[in-house]
Structure 1
Amino acid sequence: MSETKIRKSVPLNPDDIHALTELRTPDTGLNEALKVLLAKAGLPEPGNESAALHALLVLGRRAVEEQAQLTGYAAYAASLDDEDRAVAKSMRRRRRIADDVV
């Protein structure tokens, strides 16, 4: 069972409050965009303000994690030399040949 903590106060400026209101207002641009992002992420639509804030946190956290992975992959790719790339290319070719045989 996972432990859930409740954070009682999150500082919101007027722009945040306006955006949160628009996110929860049907047929607004932000509401429609949120629905699309939630559907892509397999998350339910939020039913109240705290659920909307949580949905934004989850979507934001996933975006940051994805960016961290991309940065890591880019650093790894940059560290490869020509020999590493040649070996990887050869392995991909061998896998394709093996897949075609099966």
Structure 2
Amino acid sequence: MTLRDRITSVPDGARDLAAARLRCEALKLLHQALEESGMSKTELAAKLGVRKSAVTQVFRGDGNVRVNTLADYLWALGRDADLSLAQRADIPEPLDRS
């Protein structure tokens, strides 16, 4: 049994896995934006008007980052992001009724 199978076999496991994947994607975008900006975390903190420790916590993935916080960080780094929907594997695609 794979780790994914074990996680998804417990109650709410699939939902928790989907949430973790989304958090991971958001963190990858933040790290990519920081690297591409050439800015340091200290400079980003100053631009956002927050402590460097707050920026470090966000980049470590500590806590639950609000969507507005993610948007503010990306904006300060000269970036923006889009979300897209993906069909869950355990639910069949709806029939086209057109």
TM-score tier (shorter): 0.3 to 0.5
Q: Over alpha carbons, which structure has the higher Rg?
A: 1
More helix by share: 1
Higher relative contact order, chain-length normalized (CA < 8 Å, sep 6+): 2
Q: TM-score, normalised by structure 2?
A: 0.34
Q: TM-score, normalised by structure 1?
A: 0.33
